[in-house]
Structures are given as C-alpha cells and as structure tokens.
Amino acid sequence: MHGLGLRWPSLPTRWHRFSVRRTLLALVLPVMLAAVGIELALTWGTALQAANSAYDRSLLGAIKAIDSNVSTETGGLSVEMPYRLLEFFELTASGQVFFRVSTEDGLVEIGNAGLPLPGQPLKTGVPRFIDAEYFGAPVRVGAWARELDPERPGRRLVIQVAESTNSRNAFSRALLMQAMWRDLLTVSIVAGTLALVIGWALRPLDRLRREVEARADDDLSPVDETEVPADAAPLVRAINHHLARQRELIDGRRRFVDDASHQLRTPLATLATMVGYARRERDPALLTEALTALKGQIDDTVRRTNQMLALARADTAPVAMTPLALDRLADRCARESWPLAREQGIDLGFDHAGGDIIVLGHEGQLREALLNLLHNALRYTPRGGVVTLQVGVDRSHGDTAVIRVVDDGPGIPADERPRAGERFFRGSNVDLPGSGLGLAIVRAIVRRHFGEMEVAAARLDADGLERGTTVTLRLPLRVPTEIPSPLKAG
C-alpha cells in the first residue's frame, strides 16, 4: 500500500491494549453486521417482489374468472359472480376481497364502488397492479380493461379485484425472518471460526514467546524466523537486528575491558616498580631522574587510557551528525599539532584546494581521528622529515571528501598494510613504544561516518623501495548548506 502512496489509518491508542483476536473481531463484526443489514434490506425488497408476483397472479386469475362471467347480450351489463372462486380467494388472501366491474365512463358499475384506479390510463388487454388504500386499509389492486363489444370498439370494460395486503406482508416477513436468522447464524459461525483461526495462526508467536522467556539472561542469539508467519517475519528480523546491536555493544564493552587489562597491566606494573625504586633512592639527582621517568610513564599510560576510551566511544557511542566544514576542522587540527611538530623538528604542512568542503559528521569524533593521524605521523617521522595534511574532493569516487596525511617515516610493509587499523597492530619495522590503537580509532570513527580508510606507501624511490605512509580517509560529501557557526571562523 505504501508503494501507491496510501497509508492505513492508525488505531486509537486504547486499542493497543487489546489482543489481536479481540481487535480483529471488533473491526470485522461491525462490517459483517452492516453487510447483514444491507442484505436484509435487499431480502425484504426481493421478498415483497416475490410475494407481489405470486399474489398478483391470483388477482389476475380472479379478474379472468369475473370477465368470463360478464354478459352484454341483453343490451346492458350483467355479471354472474363466481362466488365459490371469490370465497376460495378470500381464504388464500387471509382477508377481505373486493371487486368492481364498470364501464370506463363509470355509467355502469357493479361491485365495490370507489376502488382506486392506476394513475395512468389502462392499456387494453394489459393488467396493471398497484398498492393503494381502500377505506383506510392497505390493499393490492389489480385492474384490467377490454373492449365491451369487440364488434363495436370505442367503449371499454374495466374489471378490478383488490385484496388485503396482510397475507403477502406476512409472507414477506416470514422470508425476512428466515433470512435474518440464517445471516445471524452465518455471522456467528464466521466469528467463531475467525476467533479459532486467529488463535491457531498466533500459536507460532506464542511458542516464540515461550522460547524467548526460557532463554538464559546472556543468550542474545538470533530468533528463528522460519517458524513464524510471513507477516510476523519483519518483526522477528527487527528483533534480531536489535539483538545484534546489543551483542555488538556488549562485545564492545567486553573488548574494552580486555583491552584495558591488556594495555594497563604492563604500564601499571612498571609504575609500581619505578615508584618502589624512587622510594629507595637517596641520591637527589638519581631521584629526580626516576621521577622524570615516572612522569613519562604516567603520561604514556594516560594516553593509552584516553585512546581506549576514544576507541570505545567510536565503536558504541551514539553519534549525532551535523553539517560541518571539514577543511576548517582539518586546519584547526593542523594548528593544534604544530607545537608537537616543532618539538620533533618536523615540517608540518596543510594543503587545501580551496572552497568549503561540507560533510555530515560528528565534530568531536572527526577531530579525534585527525589528531590521531597527525600524532602517528609526527611520532614515527624522523627529525627533519615532512608531514603534510591534505584536504580536497575526489569526483572520481562519487563526490567524496578526502583527507590525506602523508609522511616520510619508515612506512608499513606492503604485506602488513591490510592489517592496518586492527587493534594493537604495529608494523614489524617500528621500534618506538606504542599501543597500536591510533589507526584502529581512526578506522572505527570513519566507519561510523559511512566512510573508508586506505593505507598506502607515500612514494616509490628510484631504487624501487617504498617510502613513507599515506593514510587516506574518504567521507560522503554533503550538498553545501549553511556552515555551522562553530566552524565559520576557521
């Protein structure tokens, strides 16, 4: 229905407390009862039509019988009434019977005077039947006209027979009552069958409920959707999707605990050893040296802890996306990294093609990713080296925003690059201490922003050896709108 642009109206809120069986019956029964009402109205009309057709034939028979006893041989009009036939007709009609024989001009009239005639003139030889009142009682009147003397046309004879409508109304009411009881029985059978069928159709859901209730508290395995009706399968798939997200959250917390224990065990043991050494040292110079080393170890532990927290947030924390100018965010990150670059003796440059590059993202997480990239590049690039942060747009990849950090450090061996971004992975050609979480944080953040991370060599020297590292981040490009105020100032 949604494909046609139509939407079903939603049920009132209080109806959501009802069971499916009760809701369906509450919706279906009024429709069925309305259909029964329409059917009974049609049945009443059909019954009246059938009764009129049957009883009108009796009226016509009485008219023919009277006509066969009309005589004009004496020059006047005489009728020898078939009284036995009229008595029998009264018995079958269950009421009084009236008749009238007259000339069309009304000069000669025999029988019950004043029987109503049809509103339109009678056609010769064509009977007409009407519903009328005679002395305040409802009657059915049959009228028929013929030439009084076929040899001298122009003067017609009119014969009328009327009967009370009590018998035919009773007949119609009997048909209506039969139809009503039949329809009510049908509605009852359909409602009962519907209730049973709904209960039977919902048995898989009840079985699913029992299975879920019987699960262990830590069981987040997918629910089997093959045992439920096709209409309920999307709900089960949504539940499985939710369970998968919960598994990811729990796995993320478990990985964080494992990572924390793995990363902090050695630094904390080292800190404990260094504190013990400092407490035993009596030489002020050696004590100062020990405290300096202790401070460095504490700084490294704090950085590792912050990296693990950043990785946990990148994996599981909800992300509120807003439009932001990626080029201005990159410029700010480059400026924040300049003090470290000067301390390391490294030339840190920023290359921007010009123009605002608007993406949809979380400013805090993207800033964390850029700072991690720059910190890694500055940390592993030797003194006197060059690190360049580039920002632009790549039209060949479906209009994506591109961020590149290029350094001339030791690089990552080609056979190890596919593992770049894994937790705790560090290149085999690196001797400096580190946690191996920097690129893992970057990759997790980029994936949360529906982007991708690529790692390649920075250049190929004349001797055929690869030098340096280029880390490329690609993010979906947003159509430029108003730039958020925090980034307008650059």
Query: Is 309's pLDDT higher than 80?
Result: no
Of the given ranges (327-331, 451-455, 476-480), which has the lowest mean pLDDT?
476-480
Query: Are 110 and 101 a contacting pair, CB within 8 Å?
Result: yes
Assess if residue 4 is contained within a domain. no
Residue 441 within any structural domain of the chain: yes
The answer to which of 29-38, 73-82, 241-250, 267-276 has the lowest mean pLDDT is: 73-82
32 and 46 in a single domain? The answer is yes
Q: Are residues 81 and 156 in the same domain?
A: yes
Residues 343 and 386 grouped into a single domain: yes
Asked if residue 5 is part of any domain, the answer here is: no
Higher-pLDDT residue of 458 and 160 is 160
Q: Which domain holds residue 24?
A: 19-201
pLDDT in tens, 369-406: 888 889 888 888 888 889 999 998 887 766 788 999 99
249 falls in which pLDDT band (50, 70, 90)? confident
Domain co-membership, 302 together with 237: yes
131 lies in some domain: yes
For residue 487, the model assigns a pLDDT of 41
Q: From 289, 317, 345, give the residue that closes a domain.
A: 317
Q: Is the pLDDT of residue 263 over 60?
A: no
190 and 55 belong to one structural domain:
yes
Task: Verify that 305 and 371 share a domain, yes or no.
Answer: no
Q: Is residue 92 part of a domain?
A: yes
Answer yes or no: are the C-beta atoms of 146 and 124 closer than 8 Å: yes
Which tens digit of pLDDT belongs to each residue from 39-72?
878 877 777 777 778 778 888 888 888 888 777 7
Last residue of a domain, one of 260, 291, 317: 317
pLDDT at 481: 47
Q: How confident is the model at residue 2 (pLDDT cuts 50, 70, 90)?
A: very low
pTM, full prediction: 0.45
**Which among 288, 317, 346 is the end of a domain?**
317
Residues 175 and 302 occupy one common structural domain: no
Q: What is the pLDDT of residue 489?
A: 35
Residue 3 lies in a domain: no
Is pLDDT at 479 greater than 60 in this prediction? no
Same domain, 308 and 426: no
Tell whether 355 is covered by a domain.
yes
Report whether pLDDT(11) > 70. Answer: no
Number of independent structural domains in the chain:
3
Same domain, 338 and 459: yes
Q: Does residue 120 share a domain with residue 52?
A: yes
304 and 361 part of one domain = no
Beta carbons of 369 and 379 less than 8 angstroms apart: no
The per-residue pLDDT for range 110-166, each reduced to its tens digit, is 888 888 988 888 898 899 999 899 888 888 899 999 888 777 777 888 989 888 887
Q: With helix as H, strand as E and coil as C, how does the chain read?
A: CHHHCCCCCCCCHHHHHCCHHHHHHHHHHHHHHHHHHHHHHHHHHHHHHHHHHHHHHHHHHHHHHHHCCEECCCCCCEECCCHHHHHHHHHHHCCCEEEEEEECCCCCEEECCCCCCCCCCCCECCCEEEEEEECCEEEEEEEEEEECCCCCCCCEEEEEEEEECHHHHHHHHHHHHHHHHHHHHHHHHHHHHHHHHHHHHCHHHHHHHHHHHCCCCCCCCCCCHHHCCCCCHHHHHHHHHHHHHHHHHHHHHHHHHHHHHHHHHHHHHHHHHHHHHHHHCCCHHHHHHHHHHHHHHHHHHHHHHHHHHHHHHHHHCCCCCEEEEHHHHHHHHHHHHHHHHHHHCCEEEEEECCCCCEEEECHHHHHHHHHHHHHHHHHHCCCCCEEEEEEEEEHHHCCEEEEEEEECCCCCCHHHHHHCCCCCCCCCCCCCCCCCCHHHHHHHHHHHCCCEEEEEEEEECCCCCEEEEEEEEEEEECCCCCCCHHHHCC
Residues 279 and 349 in one domain: no
137 domain-assigned: yes
